[in-house]
């Protein structure tokens, strides 16, 4: 009986290792569809001439409903013009200037993505072996977590003026 149970365990572990390696598992299959992801389309329109139809282009907007998100925002009483890229807001310009005072790395997103993939590969060697669907994010990034209270106390010890914080419960 013992060899059969160990064979089943090895088979189960082997099958779980074949799955897609994801660090975060935030899916809830029992929740059903997300109602806010569904945007109703406007009714179809008949073209003036069937001989001069435009050629379909992947990624192009629907001709009868070119801006569904803007239409939804306008229907809810919002300002759809805010969806247009307008650069950095005036309220954030000082922050952006301070953050970029030493220059900006042009490919920072690709660089940090590669560094993070390497880190996850080193730290999460066994995160792809799962018997149950679990969220492994906290266990992999545990040492990277910052403690706000500890950072505040270190800053106060150096003599910096810091804001007040809620007391420890």
Q: What pLDDT does residue 88 have?
A: 83
Q: What is the pLDDT of residue 1?
A: 52
Distance CA 120, CA 136 (A): 11
Q: Over 80: is that where the pLDDT of 140 sits?
A: no
**Three-class SS state of 44:** coil
pLDDT in tens, 89-132: 888 889 988 988 888 888 999 999 999 888 877 776 665 666 77
pLDDT(4) > 80: no
Which pLDDT does position 20 carry in this prediction? 54
Give the span between the Cα atoms of 79 and 100, in whole angstroms: 30
CA distances from 27 to 43, 78, 89 (A): 33, 30, 34
Of 11, 2, 3, 13, nearest to 131 by C-alpha is 13
Mean of pLDDT values over 145-149: 86
pTM given for the model: 0.40
Residue 19 has pLDDT above 80, yes or no: no
């Amino acid at each position: 009986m013992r060899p059969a149970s160990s064979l089943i365990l090895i088979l189960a572990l082997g099958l779980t290792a074949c799955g897609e390696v994801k660090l975060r598992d935030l899916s809830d299959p029992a929740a059903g569809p997300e109602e806010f992801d569904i945007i109703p389309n406007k009714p179809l329109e008949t073209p003036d001439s069937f001989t001069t139809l435009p050629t379909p282009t992947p990624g192009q907007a629907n001709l009868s409903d070119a801006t569904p998100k803007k239409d939804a925002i306008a229907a809810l009483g919002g300002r759809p013009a805010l969806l247009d890229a307008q650069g950095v807001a005036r309220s954030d310009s000082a922050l952006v200037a301070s953050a970029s005072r030493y220059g900006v790395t042009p490919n920072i997103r690709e660089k940090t993505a590669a560094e993070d993939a390497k880190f996850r590969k080193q730290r999460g060697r066994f995160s792809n072996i799962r018997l149950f669907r679990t969220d492994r994010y906290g266990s992999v990034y545990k040492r990277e977590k910052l403690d706000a209270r500890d950072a505040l106390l270190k800053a106060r010890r150096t003599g910096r003026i810091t804001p007040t914080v809620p007391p420890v419960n």
